[in-house]
Amino acid sequence: MGGRFKTALQAILTAVLAFSVLLIPLGREANAKSLASNASDDAWMWGTTFMGSSTTGLNVYGAQDKKAYLKFTVSGAGTITDAILKVKCVTGGTATVGAYAGTGNNSWTESNLAWNNRPDVGSLLDSKSTTFVAGTVYSFHVGSLLSANGTYSIILKSTSGDEVVFSSKEGSSAPQLIVSDGTTPVSSEGPSLAGYTLYRDYSFGTSRNVNSLTSLANSFNAYGIAGTTVINHEWQRYQPINANNHVLTANTLDLTALANLGGVYDGGISSGQIATKETFYPSDGKTYIFQLRAKIPNGTGTWPAFWLYSPGGTGTTASEIDIFEFFNSPTQNQYDWTGYDHGSGVGDNYYNIMTNQWVWHPGTDFSADYHLYTLVWKEGEIQKWVDGTLVKGTNFNWFGPAPQVLIDLAIGGDPNSNPTTSTFPAKFSLDYFRVYVKN
User: Each residue of 215-228: pLDDT tens digit?
Assistant: 999 999 998 765 56
At residue 219, what are phi and psi to the nearest 5 degrees? -100, -30
- Choose the weakest-confidence range: 16-30, 107-121, 309-323, 357-371: 16-30
At residue 282, what are phi and psi to the nearest 5 degrees? -85, 60
Q: What is the DSSP letter of 278?
A: S
In the chain, pLDDT over 70 holds for what percent of residues? 87
Instruction: Verify that 82 and 55 share a domain, yes or no.
Output: yes
In a domain, 107, yes or no: yes
CA distances from 171 to 6, 42, 112 (A): 44, 11, 19
pLDDT for 322 equals 97
- Choose the weakest-confidence range: 51-55, 84-88, 397-401: 51-55
Sequential DSSP letters for 199-246: EEEEEBSTTSSB-SHHHHHHHEES--TTTT---TTB-EEE-SS-TTTE
Report the domain count for the chain. Answer: 2
d(CA 256, CA 407): 12
Instruction: Verify that 234 and 157 share a domain, yes or no.
Output: no
Give me the domain span that covers residue 420: 197-438
Which CATH number do you get for residue 334?
Answer: 2.60.120.200
**Residue pLDDT, tens place only, 142-180:** 888 987 889 999 999 999 999 999 999 998 888 998 887
Instruction: Verify that 378 and 410 share a domain, yes or no.
Output: yes
The yes-or-no verdict on residue 288 having pLDDT over 90 is yes
Query: What are 222's strand-pairing partners?
Result: none
Instruction: Verify that 284 and 395 share a domain, yes or no.
Output: yes
The yes-or-no verdict on residue 365 having pLDDT over 60 is yes
pLDDT for 187 equals 52
Q: What is the DSSP letter of 179?
A: E
**Domain's final residue, options 180, 210, 237:** 180
How many CB atoms sit inside 10 A of residue 94's CB? 12
d(CA 252, CA 296): 12
Number of H helices, E strands in the chain: 2, 29
The yes-or-no verdict on residue 364 having pLDDT over 60 is yes
Instruction: Verify that 160 and 48 share a domain, yes or no.
Output: yes
The yes-or-no verdict on residue 242 having pLDDT over 90 is yes
pLDDT for 16 equals 29
pLDDT for 148 equals 84
- Choose the weakest-confidence range: 134-138, 298-302, 360-364, 380-384: 134-138
Instruction: Verify that 155 and 210 share a domain, yes or no.
Output: no
Mean pLDDT of 341-348: 94
Alpha-carbon torsion, ordered 37, 40, 43, 48, to 10 deg:
-120
pTM of the model: 0.64
Read off the pLDDT band of 369 (50, 70, 90): confident
pLDDT for 438 equals 94
CA distances from 354 to 132, 195, 359, 360, 383 (A): 18, 29, 6, 4, 13
Mean pLDDT of 393-413: 94
Instruction: Verify that 332 and 283 share a domain, yes or no.
Output: yes
Highest mean pLDDT among 226-230, 238-242, 360-364: 238-242
At residue 423, what are phi and psi to the nearest 5 degrees? -65, -30
The yes-or-no verdict on residue 122 having pLDDT over 50 is yes
Instruction: Verify that 375 and 290 share a domain, yes or no.
Output: yes
In a domain, 8, yes or no: no
Instruction: Verify that 167 and 272 share a domain, yes or no.
Output: no
**Residue pLDDT, tens place only, 175-204:** 998 887 654 445 556 788 878 899 999 999
Instruction: Verify that 118 and 221 share a domain, yes or no.
Output: no
Q: Which residues are CB-contacts of 165 (< 8 A; sequence separation ≥ 6)? A: 57, 58, 59, 60, 89, 90, 91
pLDDT for 432 equals 93
The yes-or-no verdict on residue 12 having pLDDT over 50 is no
Which CATH number do you get for residue 105?
Answer: 2.60.120
How many CB atoms sit inside 10 A of residue 209's CB? 12
Instruction: Verify that 77 and 43 share a domain, yes or no.
Output: yes
Alpha-carbon torsion, ordered 197, 203, 209, 213, to 10 deg:
130
In a domain, 12, yes or no: no
Count, residues in the chain: 439
In a domain, 216, yes or no: yes
The yes-or-no verdict on residue 210 having pLDDT over 90 is yes
pLDDT for 53 equals 66
**Domain's final residue, options 180, 214, 236:** 180
**Domain's final residue, options 121, 153, 180:** 180
The yes-or-no verdict on residue 109 having pLDDT over 50 is yes
Residue with the larger pLDDT of the pair 227 and 122: 122
- What's the distance, CA 348 to chain centroid? 22
Instruction: Verify that 159 and 224 share a domain, yes or no.
Output: no
Mean pLDDT of the chain: 86
In a domain, 100, yes or no: yes
The yes-or-no verdict on residue 27 having pLDDT over 60 is no
- Choose the weakest-confidence range: 48-57, 73-82, 128-137, 404-413: 73-82
pLDDT for 406 equals 95
Read off the pLDDT band of 14 (50, 70, 90): very low
Given CA atoms 7, 399, 343, 295 in this order, what sign does their dihedral have? negative
pLDDT for 15 equals 30
In a domain, 80, yes or no: yes
Q: Which residues are CB-contacts of 128 (< 8 A; sequence separation ≥ 6)? A: 96, 97, 98, 138, 140
In a domain, 21, yes or no: no
Given CA atoms 312, 318, 321, 324 in this order, what sign does their dihedral have? positive
pLDDT for 129 equals 82
In a domain, 14, yes or no: no
The yes-or-no verdict on residue 26 having pLDDT over 50 is no
pLDDT for 66 equals 96
pLDDT for 18 equals 28
At residue 24, what are phi and psi to the nearest 5 degrees? -120, 125
CB 207 within 8 A of CB 251: yes
Read off the pLDDT band of 307 (50, 70, 90): very high
d(CA 18, CA 38): 42
